[in-house]
Amino acid sequence: MPLARFSKLITSRNQGGGDKKQGFPPSMGLGTFAMNAIRIRAWGYLRDTIIPPTTFSATITTPSNSFTLRMPYDAVDSRGIYDGTIYWGDGTTSPNVKNAEHIYLLAGNYTITIDGVINGWYTYSNGTMYQCLITINRFGPKFSFGTFASDTNGAGGMFRNCSLLKTISSDIPTSNVKTMVFMFNGCANFNQELDFNTSNVVFMGSMFNGCTNFNSTLKFNDTSKVENMSYMFYGCTKFNKPLDFNTSKVLNMQAMFTGCAKFNQPLPFDTSLVTYMDYMFSGCSIFSQNLSGWCVEDIASLPLGFNTNAPGLTVSNLPKWGEVCTP
């Protein structure tokens, strides 16, 4: 069946209240297309559909037939809030609840939409989303990462180990996020320019750890509260972009650039409060920037492994260890 005819058929069946059999909510009628239309697959045919601006949307690729997708929701009784309906992208729906899961009979690409509240999301050791997530098309105003991100004791890990993840939507809600620990850890295919609100973030440890293909600009607007950047770019073997971070409160930079074999950018960091720098540039084989302007008052001598296998960090390029920092 031609795509145009198929779209017309879907439109005629979906007008006036949606089609539960196909899994399209009433607000997704196809009488009028919009700029936020995306292309999805239904019954083997590709077509465009409108995603309401209040709806969460993500695209996945299931790795095998009979794949069970378990949503990365916070299942602790005292945390996590979920409601509305999940449209699984294969013509079926189910309530959006803490233990939501779905079996995809056939391997392939599917676009999931959710028209309710999502308060609590992390992929690390939680559900199976990490095995199949490709992109977040829209977070929507009803989405929140929840306690794991908004509490400084939270474990973060919003997209940890999502090895297929390529892009996330620009409407990512981070204004209340305090920890971005492990946020993209293990996202080997992720390589997207990022410009989101980091004004309340305290921890960025291992944020891009293991992002082996990452080499995009970071336009974080405020890192003035960040205390931990340890392992932040660990293993980012292709990363070589300028960084303009406010590091005035950072205490830990341990292994921050370990293994960044292509990194060689100036680092105008304030290191006056830093107490850990072990292995910071270990394996940075071409890094040759002059760090002699860094004042590191709380580290008395060269930290363990600081410049191991980083021949460009000669004695004349090293920071001033143990010297009293003056304004």
Rounded to an integer, the average pLDDT of 32-58 is: 55
Confidence band (pLDDT; 50, 70, 90) for 154?
low
Contact 81, 117 (CB under 8 A): yes
Rounded to an integer, the average pLDDT of 279-292 is: 98
Rounded to an integer, the average pLDDT of 108-123 is: 96
Find the angle CA(299)-CA(304)-CA(308) to the nearest 5 degrees.
125
The whole-model pTM stands at: 0.85
Query: Tell me, what's the pLDDT at 12?
Result: 29
**Residue the block writes with tokens 């921890």:** 203
Give residue-wise pLDDT tens across range 209-236.
999 999 999 998 799 999 999 999 999 9
- Measure the CA–CA gap between 230 and 256, rounded to whole angstroms: 5
Q: Please say if the pLDDT value at position 79 is more than 80.
A: yes
Q: What residues does 258 pair with on adjacent strands? A: none
Contact 30, 50 (CB under 8 A): yes
Confidence band (pLDDT; 50, 70, 90) for 36?
very low
Give residue-wise pLDDT tens across range 156-166.
899 999 999 99
Token pair in block for residue 13: 């069946």
- Measure the CA–CA gap between 204 and 174, rounded to whole angstroms: 13
Cβ atoms within 10 Å of 78's Cβ, excluding its own: 6
DSSP 239-253: ---------TT--B-
Q: Where are the domains of the chain?
A: 1-50, 52-178
